[in-house]
Structure 1
């Protein structure tokens, strides 16, 4: 097993596949595990240079983090990689009580030491940018400061009302945060500015990324400033995009591989727990292009007895599949149908929706013999895929038109699930025709190096 370049913990499943796509599509073979693997499972992926662990911390409390992140970070450290990355959403949505990024960094420092933690959020590849410490994100062709973003400023659980990342973090932790801004990065004295930021009493150092040039400089600074024993870092997949630039410059990784389009399948099943307007448009497009739609009661899925709600949905989904049609089963059709206020946050009811959607999808896949499926919703994916008996994922096909939502190959001890192709789509991710494009396996979605 060759030395790993990077290990990471993803705070939700779609974010975890986002990192896998960023690495594997650029020549860094990556295995993503659904739980800490035993030695035999890890050995199956001995050829990989990066290893991920998909988590659910984005939707969890600080108390949950204190109990669950410590063993995850200890496993990352045991791999001996040059970098260990706590991966967060590129929109940085989080709060003191849900998905607390500051708390996660605090826990990471107990495992990896007190060296300053690099923080990289900007990723032009997925249309996320940081400038002078402020976060910007694109939406339908326009770019917004995150606190004015049409979707993220109104997120139902963690609305972003502050664009300055350091100020946002200050609500979650007492750790101090410095900044290496775009002016520093473009200066001939970029190394000196970086050294100063990391040498000062900063627990966290945010590095701006707004374009390819700043990303390349950030990659060089990250690699130059890494510490022995594994550099703990935080941020979006922008961290990987920056590092890959530097690894390629140094000849540490091969050229990006070519990927073969998978071609069409006759039917797929989609389950969605997303309330995003992006997912709403995608569902409506799918219904206009050959999919059957089945609306599910979100409150019932969260609170009713498992058997009744899941069995009814399975029967309805199998009926559509038996008639040769793809099917999409959804708990909301956009923000106007969001019933989150009627679902308790404290007792795990919201997580139960994702778990039951996963049980539903497993029944559809195994009983209808499907070989391709989609889960929509970041939190939904994290809780749903665990019900499918999937042990690990690797990249089947990167989707440059919808970065961050690749088609993956699932590995499972269950032969009915092993080898299926599954796409995991965050709420804000993808073009309107995303579901039909996955069904059709269109070459237009193929990465061309």
Structure 2
């Protein structure tokens, strides 16, 4: 690791994490890489053979899809995933959650993930950092806030998260929200206590053999660094943490203050390309604005007909239709975007339950089928065109697409928008190896995001 005191670091990895969706996984990878901590994101449990190809890596991630899954799925899948990461020997094992805490007792239960994860580490506490000022997420006295276009909202009044189609946020106090998902004791170190010289005494009073969750407020850069300092200094024999990329930013801020990583974080600037392609399964108003900008600025924007895509009798024909349109656009030098919805008020979103029912699917099955369809669209488009840079918008869609492209791992190639870096794909398939891909969460990026990805503008 360059720019720091090497002797101060423990041997081996500093952090291993499981991402509850693919966009969040790349967000965490970006935060570490920008800080000067070489990071690799694996799309399947890392093997010694794979890691041997990246000897300088100090942080390893595993991209997952648990954000949209049931507690039973977690019981079946997460123990193996956590065990594979714990075996790497990092002192911190993270279940990386979205900075908007997307979860419920039935879907993406963060509480269930914690109950499974704490058994893989020996710590007497399970820290939780959710606030991430760089992403406009702030936690105060346990309550989570997010800013949109310069205006801050308590999360239960947020224009998107309060209306999320799967996990609507109706409680901003994360202690209350999390208590619906686990019987584990939940504590808090608020931003006043965090700044106190007695903060370690406060932590010692909370920690015990029952391994409580201890939430840590983050409001600004000072509390961010203080939170990172507390986690790093109190990691003991190893801790499990369910945290957003706020954890990565917090650790980096602490390490930076101690001269262990470069003082000025940053990533390379991306080059421009003539044409990109994108698929979007996002229902976010932010992504809707980006699609409108693309339509107004020369992109070829085509809607996926959900009724035809979910009907087994017409699915292949609908895929061929949109791939044909997108491939023609690429041949003409225009960048195509295939999307399934344009904001939360889109008729396809408001009528999604009816569309799913007509296809004899429940809501979760239908949502996954949409992601699979967008994945097939992108796969066929890459097979038929010389594209080398693509975008996937939407957390669930990103998981489906990346999983179906034969990608083994990702690393950060360049900065783009905070939380959505330009990634370099590693694959045994020469046609996919070196592919540049951006996995974008629904809330990420400005209006001209798709244009910025094409033009290399961060």
Tell me the TM-score range normalised by the shorter chain: over 0.9
Residues 1:92 and 1:283: Cα distance change in structure 2 (over 3 Å)? same
1:231 counterpart = 2:248: no
Residue 14 of structure 1 is matched in structure 2 by: 23
* Residues 1:198 and 2:213 are matched in the alignment: no
Corresponding residue number in structure 1 for 2:425:
410
Deviation at 1:214, TM superposition (A): 0.9
Which residue is equivalent to 2:365?
348
Mapped contact 1:302–1:350 kept (Cα < 8 A): no
Report the TM-score, using the length of structure 2 for normalisation: 0.92
Structure 1 residue 250 displacement after superposition: 3.6
Name the counterpart of 1:371: 388
Q: Which residue of 1 aligns with 2:326?
A: 317
- Answer yes or no: is 1:84 the counterpart of 2:96: no
1:418-442: CA deviation from partner (whole Å, max 9, x where unpaired): 1111111111111000001101112
Among 140, 145, 151, which residue is 1:142 paired with? 151
Query: Which residue among 263, 269, 274 is the counterpart of 1:261?
Result: 269
Backbone CA RMSD of aligned residues: 1.8
Gaps of 5+ in 1: none
Q: TM-score, normalised by structure 1?
A: 0.94
Residues in 1 aligned to 2:285 and 2:259: alpha-carbon distance in whole angstroms: 42
Deviation at 1:197, TM superposition (A): 2.5
Could you tell me whether the CA contact under 8 Å between 2:22 and 2:64 is conserved in 1?
Answer: yes
Q: Does the CA-based 8 Å contact 1:13-1:379 persist in structure 2? A: yes
**Which secondary structure state, in structure 1, belongs to the residue aligned with residue 27 of structure 2?**
helix
Q: Give, in whole Å, the separation in 1 of the partners of 2:119 and 2:202.
A: 27
2:108 pairs with 1:99: yes
What are structure 2's unaligned runs of at least 5 residues?
A: 2-10
Match of residue 447, structure 2, among 416, 432, 446: 432
Distance (Å, rounded) in 1 between the aligned partners of 2:76 and 2:236 = 26
> Secondary structure of 2:101's match?
coil
SS in 2 for 1:85: strand
Q: Within 5 A, what are the aligned runs for 1:23-422?
A: 23-113=32-122, 115-199=124-208, 203-228=212-237, 230-255=238-263, 259-305=267-313, 306-337=315-346, 338=349, 339-341=351-353, 342-343=355-356, 344-345=361-362, 348-399=365-416, 402-422=417-437
**Cα offset, 1:113, TM superposition:** 4.2
Q: Do the aligned residues in 2 keep the contact of 1:285 with 1:432 (CA within 8 Å)?
A: yes
CA offset digits 1:131-162 (Å, max 9, x no partner): 00100011111011000111101101100000
1:303-354 per-position Cα deviation (integer Å, ceiling 9, x unaligned): 4355323222211211111111110000111122214323244663311211
> What CA distance in whole angstroms lies between the structure 1 residues aligned with 2:225 and 2:267?
25
Post-superposition CA distance 1:385-405 (Å, at most 9, x none): 111111110001123xx3111
> Which has the larger displacement, 302-311 or 381-390?
302-311
Output the CA distance in 1 between the equivalents of 2:215 and 2:276. Answer: 42
Aligned residues: 440
2:271 match: secondary structure = coil
Instruction: Tell me the secondary structure at the aligned position of residue 336 of structure 1.
Output: coil
CA distance in 1, matches of 2:326, 2:214: 49
Check conservation: 1:27, 1:255, Cα contact below 8 A.
Answer: no
2:8 aligns with none
User: For 1:223, what is the secondary structure of its paired residue?
Assistant: helix
Q: Displacement, 1:172?
A: 0.7
Contact 1:178 1:202 survives alignment (8 Å): no
C-alpha contact (below 8 Å) 1:26/1:244 kept by paired residues: yes
Q: Could you tell me how far apart the structure 1 residues matched to 2:413 and 2:136 are? A: 23
